[in-house]
């Protein structure tokens, strides 16, 4: 029974944008959260011996309670309050179930999930009408249009969401029974290759940047003697050749990613100035700048457009946005500021939020490969929010792996 519960939670948590009853007002769905709550109740009632509550868990619950109750002034105990303040407590059941049932999670189930994502992505590209008929009822929207410069999202809404999730797939073997992947290197290579293909096929500029950062970090921290491993040499050569071929074909060349790569060739600083990146990232320095005027935050779950516009005029923020994109970026963040968990955390809680960030980062520590986890974590929260079930799955796996005290053998 524990094995079934563990793998159902894994499957549901890796579908953060999919739901049988999608909530139309938000991209991120709560199917994984609801499944984990049900599983946790079953464990408490029928299998309490499988549950342990350590200091890390207490610290995370404390951070969740502080976040939930840190409000004052114009208090509205509504859905917005829960969406902004309750995300840590909402994600805790996923983290806790995965952490305690880690030994029952089957790597083959994860491999099946990766295959499902890949098949759906290919279906969206080559049989769009069929894809739309099947999945339109389970996703809040389908934003990909065949022939447009926007990339496909598969079981996600945006290509950037698909790319970040694929980035997690790429390094899941490091945190999910890596002894298994060390013995089944063919499956390890298949997962890695499929994940990289999905990042490239999504045509997400932020996804390509994420892939580059992950592979660069992996190469830099890997032990030199492992470069002699033939399977790694073949794998890296395959990545280089495949990346070159895919980027050169018209599928990528005439897309947003192709435009991004062309501009990067001319001016590498466009990596920062790319409007799709600016829209997601620029909220964070605005939230941090608010610490100067309100070090303890606003205590409000709603943002003030006047405050956002004021900080947007700051020279530091202005230097991050090209003049021709400023109106577009400002309009985007005025409408989406509260959906950025990091920006809203600084805005609402001030320096108290720094403590919460350190608690979350503490969960990512573990071994030589922690840098990969930090990159993935920040990629998730920049492109979405702390409500993403995949974030809490990752935190639970990392915490469980750290407790197992094994050495990587991939």
* Among 327, 287, 395, 384, CA closest to 16: 384
Contact 365, 402 (CB under 8 A): yes
Query: What is the separation, in whole angstroms, between the first and last Cα of the chain?
Result: 30
Which secondary-structure segment (H or E) carries 215? helix 205-221
Locate 342 and state its tokens. Answer: 């990091």
* Among 195, 186, 193, CA closest to 114: 195
Contact 357, 88 (CB under 8 A): no
354's CB contacts (< 8 A; 6+ apart) are none
Contact 285, 320 (CB under 8 A): yes
Contact 199, 167 (CB under 8 A): yes
At 178-208, the pLDDT tens digits run 888 878 888 988 898 899 889 888 888 788 8
Residue 225: its pLDDT value, please? 41
Residue 249: its pLDDT value, please? 58
C-alpha to C-alpha distance for 400 and 21, rounded to whole angstroms: 31
Residue 320: its pLDDT value, please? 84
Residue 44: its pLDDT value, please? 95
**Looking at the predicted structure, is the pLDDT value of residue 18 above 60?**
yes
Residue 49 DSSP label = G
48's CB contacts (< 8 A; 6+ apart) are none
For 220, list phi and psi in degrees, rounded to 5: -70, -30
Report the interhelical angle of 389-404 vs 87-100 (nearest 10°): 40
Residue 224: its pLDDT value, please? 43
Express as a percent the part of the chain with pLDDT over 90: 44
At 41-51, the pLDDT tens digits run 999 999 999 99
C-alpha to C-alpha distance for 304 and 278, rounded to whole angstroms: 20
The alpha carbon of residue 396 and the mean position of all alpha carbons in its chain are separated, in whole angstroms, by 14
- Would the CA dihedral through 49, 51, 53, 58 be positive or negative? negative
The alpha carbon of residue 139 and the mean position of all alpha carbons in its chain are separated, in whole angstroms, by 17
Contact 102, 400 (CB under 8 A): yes
For 397, list phi and psi in degrees, rounded to 5: -65, -45
Locate 405 and state its tokens. Answer: 């005290």
Contact 285, 243 (CB under 8 A): no
Residue 227: its pLDDT value, please? 41
Contact 39, 97 (CB under 8 A): yes
Q: What is the mean pLDDT of residues 213-238?
A: 61
Residue 254: its pLDDT value, please? 59
Residue 222: its pLDDT value, please? 58
Locate 270 and state its tokens. Answer: 């466009």
* Among 123, 131, 109, CA closest to 14: 109
Q: What is the mean pLDDT of the chain?
A: 85
At 332-380, the pLDDT tens digits run 888 878 778 888 899 999 999 999 999 988 888 766 677 888 888 888 8
C-alpha to C-alpha distance for 40 and 190, rounded to whole angstroms: 32
Residue 305: its pLDDT value, please? 92
**Looking at the predicted structure, is the pLDDT value of residue 9 above 50?**
yes
Q: What is the mean pLDDT of residues 231-250?
A: 59
CA distance readout (Å), 378 to 120, 281, 288, 375: 26, 10, 16, 5
The alpha carbon of residue 326 and the mean position of all alpha carbons in its chain are separated, in whole angstroms, by 26
Report the helix count and the strand count for the chain, using DSSP H and E: 24, 0
At 52-104, the pLDDT tens digits run 999 999 999 999 999 998 887 666 767 778 888 899 999 999 999 999 999 99
- Would the CA dihedral through 70, 74, 77, 81 be positive or negative? negative
**Looking at the predicted structure, is the pLDDT value of residue 32 above 90?**
yes
Contact 13, 389 (CB under 8 A): yes
Locate 349 and state its tokens. Answer: 């809680």
**Looking at the predicted structure, is the pLDDT value of residue 403 above 60?**
yes
- Would the CA dihedral through 382, 388, 389, 392 be positive or negative? positive
């Amino acid at each position: 029974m524990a094995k079934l519960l563990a793998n159902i939670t894994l499957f549901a948590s890796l579908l953060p944008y999919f739901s049988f009853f999608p909530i139309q007002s938000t991209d991120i769905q709560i199917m994984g959260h609801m499944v984990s709550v049900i599983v946790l109740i079953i464990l408490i009632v029928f299998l309490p011996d499988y549950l342990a509550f350590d200091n890390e868990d207490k610290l995370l619950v404390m951070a969740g309670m502080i976040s939930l109750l840190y409000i004052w002034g114009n208090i509205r105990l509504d859905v917005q309050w829960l969406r902004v303040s309750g995300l840590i407590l909402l994600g805790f059941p996923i983290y806790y179930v995965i952490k305690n049932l880690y030994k029952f999670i089957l790597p083959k189930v994860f491999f099946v999930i990766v295959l499902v994502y890949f098949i759906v992505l290919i279906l969206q590209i080559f049989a769009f009408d069929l894809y739309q008929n099947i999945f339109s009822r389970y996703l809040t929207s389908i934003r990909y249009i065949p022939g447009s410069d926007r990339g496909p999202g598969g079981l996600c809404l945006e290509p950037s969401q698909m790319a970040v999730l694929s980035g997690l797939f790429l390094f899941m073997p490091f945190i999910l029974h890596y002894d298994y992947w060390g013995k089944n290197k063919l499956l390890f290579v298949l997962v890695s290759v499929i994940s990289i293909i999905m990042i490239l096929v999504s045509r997400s500029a932020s996804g390509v940047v994420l892939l580059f950062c992950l592979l660069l970090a992996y190469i830099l921290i890997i032990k030199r003697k492992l470069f002699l491993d033939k399977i790694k040499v073949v794998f890296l050569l395959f990545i280089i050749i495949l990346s070159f071929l895919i980027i050169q074909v018209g599928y990528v060349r005439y897309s947003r990613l192709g435009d991004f790569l062309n501009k990067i060739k001319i001016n590498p600083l466009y990596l920062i100035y790319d409007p799709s990146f600016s829209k997601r990232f620029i909220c964070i320095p605005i939230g941090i700048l608010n610490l100067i005027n309100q070090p303890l935050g606003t205590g409000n779950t709603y943002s003030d457009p006047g405050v956002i516009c004021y900080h947007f005029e700051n020279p530091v923020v202005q230097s991050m946005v090209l003049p021709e994109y400023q109106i577009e970026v400002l309009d985007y963040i005025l409408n989406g500021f509260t959906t950025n968990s990091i920006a809203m955390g600084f805005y609402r809680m001030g320096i108290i939020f720094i403590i919460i960030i350190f608690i979350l980062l503490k969960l990512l520590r573990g071994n030589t490969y922690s840098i990969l986890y930090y990159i993935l974590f920040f990629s998730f929260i920049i492109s979405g929010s702390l409500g993403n079930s995949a974030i809490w799955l990752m935190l639970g796996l990392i915490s469980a792996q750290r407790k197992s005290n094994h050495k990587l053998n991939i």
